[in-house]
Amino acid sequence: MKIKNVVVIGSGTMGSGIAAHLCNADIPVTLLDLKTEISEKARERIHKSRPPLLIDRSKINNIKVGNITDDFSVVEKADWVVEAVVEKIDIKHQIYEKIFKSRKEGAIVSSNTSSIPIKVLSQNLNKEQKKRFLYYPFF
Ligand SMILES: NC(=O)c1ccc[n+]([C@@H]2O[C@H](COP(=O)([O-])OP(=O)(O)OC[C@H]3O[C@@H](n4cnc5c(N)ncnc54)[C@H](O)[C@@H]3O)[C@@H](O)[C@H]2O)c1
């Protein structure tokens, strides 16, 4: 499967780092947060980062920003949706419910959790949804 379009939800330390790597690979990415101001600031941080997160500053054009209320429809076109919001299970569950209502068939959904077991993260997903749900535990 070729990943042509990614949405990263949560534009803090991890979400912005993930977005920067995608930019470097020339994969268009949309960073969503609670408010567009937050994801805009994350975009600026990536652009100005020292040491640089971007291999070339012009790569920043691969990042679009928005908020989860007005811009969630970007999820409908994403091949991969990365959840990188705060480590709170109720917030992550709310996000997954929204993502799985909107994502296109076959799109991958992943979590950047540092400590929540996949069984707990995916407890509200059905069998088919679980097949497209990935996570990257750091332990
Ligand atoms: N920081 C680390 O070193 C590290 C390492 C590995 C994994 N993680 C994991 O990565 C995830 C993100 O961590 P972080 O350090 O980037 O956190 P962070 O606090 O830097 O960023 C979290 C972002 O999520 C946003 N957010 C909160 N609720 C939201 C919602 N409902 N919708 C959209 N955005 C929302 C916040 O506004 C914030 O910008 C967590 O699950 C964390 O455990 C963090």
In sequence order, what E strands does 1-47 have? Answer: 6-9, 29-33
**Ligand 1, atom 11, residue with closest C-alpha:** 84
Model pTM score: 0.96
**Adjacent-strand bridge partners of 82:** 8, 110
Whether 64 maps to a domain, the answer reads yes
Alpha carbon of 15 to ligand 1 centroid (Å)? 7
37 domain residue, yes or no: yes
Nearest Cα to Cα of residue 49 among 35, 37, 63: 63
Do the domain assignments include residue 73? yes
For 113-118, what is the mean pLDDT? 92
How close is the Cα of 82 to the center of ligand 1, in Å? 11
In a domain, 1, yes or no: no
Q: Is residue 104 one of the residues assigned to a domain?
A: yes
Number of domains in the chain: 1
User: What are the tens digits of pLDDT across the range 65-109?
Assistant: 999 999 999 999 999 999 999 999 999 999 999 999 999 998 999
Ligand 1 centroid – CA 39 distance (Å) = 12
Across all residues in the chain, what is the average pLDDT?
94
* DSSP classification of residue 42: H
Residue 41 pLDDT > 50? yes
Q: Residue 113 belongs to what domain range? A: 6-135
Q: Count CB atoms within 10 A of the CB of residue 39.
A: 29
CATH of the domain at 111: 3.40.50.720
Residue 137 clears pLDDT 70, i.e. is over it: no
Question: At 133, phi and psi to the nearest 5?
Answer: -110, 125
pLDDT digits (tens, 9 = 90+) for 4-22: 999 999 999 999 999 999 9
Q: Per-residue confidence at 139, pLDDT binned at 50, 70, 90? A: very low
Residues with CB under 6 A from ligand 1: 9-15, 33-34, 38, 68, 84-87, 91, 95, 112-114, 138
Q: Is the model's pLDDT at 138 over the cut of 80?
A: no
Minimal-distance CA residue to ligand 1 atom 38: 12
Sign of CA dihedral 32, 41, 64, 55: negative
Q: Which ligand 1 atom lies nearest to the CA of residue 38?
A: 39
